[in-house]
């Protein structure tokens, strides 16, 4: 059994783990990295990257069929589903070298391609090696949650870890789960020529602002996606090519393929956390504000920490703990400035509190400023006017922003900068955007906030009148 001693042991080579390993080794720490599956983790291989690539294929097909509004004749897209999947895997292959074992070994990281399991509070066994580390970072991510629905074990089904390997286009895809993953895959597949039915036990996109979510769902229904809400799957039966889902209220849904998209579960089963004195919660590993576990020598970041499950959160967590691990400085994680986006068409993005949450927390002190996309000249020119932005504002500062529409995922970046730096709407209104750009909507929502204060305020009008009368 090989004995290895190191400064930092990172368990998991996904987004968060790789960020910690690269940052720490380049600043002089000795680092060992464990990965029992694929370098790059879920995001590169099964999540963010392949899903956005497939969405791009669907967008290209949709564009061909809906180009007449620009003076270009519509054509029926000739979709080669297998070629679309080749595109997906080519995108993964182009990004993979950045996350590769060779790159990290070149940086000086000792990479061991094994799963890790704790044998004490400072030791982890991985294959034929035992690693003793001064600090340990758990970054094992999450996996698709597959609920114990009766009959599911006897029926072939896909998850996000398998659906991108399908080479033959499904005739009719049943998707259980109307969250971001389910709705993104629904739209991508309907645009590539597959019939799609989404089966959601509660409300589709139920964690998002209801007004914004309704606009997304309306668009998908218009494209032909069947969205069945309040349909809790009670039983699944059939074989490949002929699958039935029975809902608790008696509704029956039939399709050729089944995709499970009901959520994620933290990857903790292989870790033997009890041996290290690490406690867990219902959603993952228990951590404090500094992302330390109940074992003070061990940190948990990203999905496995049981909070917001986004790749960019894992990367943010990595930066938080690097400060603490390498320099011994206090550092705490916050979620108030963390945005997220659903890459449907239109896109849906959120940061901070939704309108409902802001009203509950701040009551009458909270104001909502809104700007509709159909007033933006660039969006009018591009025929992308469906959508809006609304900012929830308390004492002149935004506490949350909801954006739905074209490029919402890009537009929300600006608000992360605003909120992490605690900027006021007056500072937002002072920005200047080139004309015509989509980004002008961010400035215009600040204008909407000040309009009643300036143009509808009798006191302002009286002051201006006096100045015009008496100031030479």
pLDDT in tens, 391-407: 999 999 999 999 999 99
The rounded percent of the chain whose pLDDT value lies above 70 is 99
Predicted confidence band of residue 468 (pLDDT cuts 50, 70, 90): confident
- Helix (H) / strand (E) element for 235: namely strand 233-239
Chain position carrying tokens 């033997």:
272
Q: Given this model, what pLDDT does residue 469 score? A: 77
Whether the pLDDT of residue 457 is over 90: the answer is no
Q: Are residues 116 and 6 in the same domain?
A: yes
H-type helices in 161-288, by residue range?
Answer: 180-191, 210-223
Predicted confidence band of residue 458 (pLDDT cuts 50, 70, 90): confident
pTM: 0.94
Q: Given this model, what pLDDT does residue 455 score? A: 66
Contact call for residues 235 and 159 (beta carbons, < 8 A): no
Binding-site residue positions: 52, 116, 140-142, 177-184, 200, 263, 303
Q: Are residues 355 and 231 in the same domain?
A: no
Contact call for residues 389 and 411 (beta carbons, < 8 A): yes
For residue 297, the Cα-to-chain-centroid distance in whole angstroms is 29
3-state secondary structure of 75: coil
Residue 320 is encoded by which pair of tokens?
Answer: 């938080």
Q: Are residues 134 and 271 in the same domain?
A: yes
Residue 246 is encoded by which pair of tokens?
Answer: 């029975």
pLDDT in tens, 194-238: 999 999 999 999 999 999 999 999 999 999 999 999 999 999 999
Find the domain containing 376 and state its range: 340-454
Binding-site residue positions for NAD(+): 177-184, 200, 263
Cα gap 25→2, rounded to integer Å: 22
pLDDT in tens, 326-368: 998 889 999 889 999 999 999 999 999 999 999 999 999 999 9
* Closest alpha carbon to 282 in 268, 271, 294, 293: 268
Number of domains the chain is built from: 3
- Domain assignment present for residue 359? The answer is yes
pLDDT in tens, 74-121: 999 999 999 999 999 999 999 999 999 999 999 999 999 999 999 999
- Helix (H) / strand (E) element for 339: namely strand 339-342
Binding-site residue positions for FAD: 52, 116, 140-142, 303
Q: Are residues 9 and 118 in the same domain?
A: yes
Side-chain half-sphere CA neighbours of 354 within 13 A: 14
Q: Given this model, what pLDDT does residue 252 score? A: 97
Q: Are residues 348 and 403 in the same domain?
A: yes
Cα gap 159→154, rounded to integer Å: 15
Chain position carrying tokens 């799963």:
115
Residue 445 is encoded by which pair of tokens?
Answer: 């929502």
Residue 442 is encoded by which pair of tokens?
Answer: 């961010």
Cα gap 294→314, rounded to integer Å: 19
- Domain assignment present for residue 33? The answer is yes
**Which residue, 303, 327, 351, sits at the end of a domain?**
327
Cα gap 268→265, rounded to integer Å: 9
Assign 3-class secondary structure to 257-276.
EEEECCCEEECCCCCCHHHH
Q: Are residues 177 and 253 in the same domain?
A: yes
* Strand-pair partners of 416: none
Residue 322, domain CATH: 3.50.50.60
**Which residue, 246, 263, 280, sits at the end of a domain?**
263
**Which residue, 210, 243, 263, sits at the end of a domain?**
263
Predicted confidence band of residue 462 (pLDDT cuts 50, 70, 90): confident
Q: Given this model, what pLDDT does residue 459 score? A: 79
Residue 349, domain CATH: 3.30.390.30
Q: Are residues 113 and 157 in the same domain?
A: no
Q: Given this model, what pLDDT does residue 454 score? A: 67
Q: Are residues 393 and 246 in the same domain?
A: no
Average pLDDT, stretch 442-470?
82
What is the chain's mean pLDDT, rounded?
A: 95
Cα gap 98→156, rounded to integer Å: 34
Q: Are residues 20 and 101 in the same domain?
A: yes
């Amino acid at each position: 059994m090989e004995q290895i001693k190191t400064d930092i042991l990172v368990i998991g080579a996904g987004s968060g783990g790789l960020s910690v390993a690269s940052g720490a080794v380049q600043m002089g720490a000795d680092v060992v990295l464990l990965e029992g599956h694929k370098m790059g983790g879920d995001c590169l291989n099964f999540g963010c990257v392949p899903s956005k690539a497939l969405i791009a294929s669907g967008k290209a097909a949709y564009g061909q069929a809906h180009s007449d509004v620009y003076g270009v004749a519509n054509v029926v897209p000739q979709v080669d589903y297998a070629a679309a999947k080749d595109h997906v895997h080519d995108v993964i292959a182009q990004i993979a070298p950045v996350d590769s074992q060779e790159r990290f070994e070149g940086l000086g990281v000792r990479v061991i391609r094994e799963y890790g399991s704790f044998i004490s509070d400072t030791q982890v066994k991985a294959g034929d090696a035992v690693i003793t580390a001064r600090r340990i970072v758990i970054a094992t991510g999450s996996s698709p949650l597959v609920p114990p629905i009766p009959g599911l074990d006897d029926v072939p089904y896909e998850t996000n870890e398998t659906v991108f390997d399908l080479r033959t286009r499904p005739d009719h895809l049943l998707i259980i789960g109307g969250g971001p993953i389910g709705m993104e895959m629904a739209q991508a597949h309907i645009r590539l020529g597959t019939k799609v039915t989404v089966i959601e036990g509660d409300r589709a996109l139920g964690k998002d602002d209801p007004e914004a979510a309704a606009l997304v769902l309306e668009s998908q229904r218009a494209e032909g996606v069947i969205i069945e809400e309040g349909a809790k799957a009670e039983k699944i039966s059939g074989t490949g090519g002929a699958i039935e889902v029975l809902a608790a209220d008696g509704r029956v849904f039939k399709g050729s393929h089944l995709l499970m998209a009901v959520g994620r579960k933290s990857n903790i089963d292989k870790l033997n956390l009890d041996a290290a004195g690490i406690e867990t919660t219902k959603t993952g590993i228990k951590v404090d504000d500094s992302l330390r576990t109940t074992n003070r020598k061990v940190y948990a970041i990203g999905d496995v920490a049981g909070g917001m499950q986004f790749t960019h959160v894992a990367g943010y967590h990595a930066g938080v703990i690097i400060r603490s691990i390498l320099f011994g400085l206090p550092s705490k994680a916050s979620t108030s400035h963390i945005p997220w986006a659903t890459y449907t068409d239109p896109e849906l993005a959120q940061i901070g509190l939704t309108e409902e949450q802001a009203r509950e927390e701040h009551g009458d002190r909270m104001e909502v400023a809104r700007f509709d996309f159909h007033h933006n000249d660039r969006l009018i020119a591009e025929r992308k006017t469906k959508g809006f932005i609304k900012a929830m504002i308390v004492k002149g500062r935004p506490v949350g922003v909801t954006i739905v529409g074209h490029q919402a995922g890009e537009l929300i970046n600006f608000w992360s900068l605003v909120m992490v730096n605690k900027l006021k709407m007056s500072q937002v209104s002072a920005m200047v955007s080139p004309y015509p750009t989509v980004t002008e909507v961010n400035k215009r929502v600040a204008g909407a906030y000040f309009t009643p204060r300036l143009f509808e305020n009798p006191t302002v009008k009286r002051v201006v009148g006096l100045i015009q009368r008496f100031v030479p």
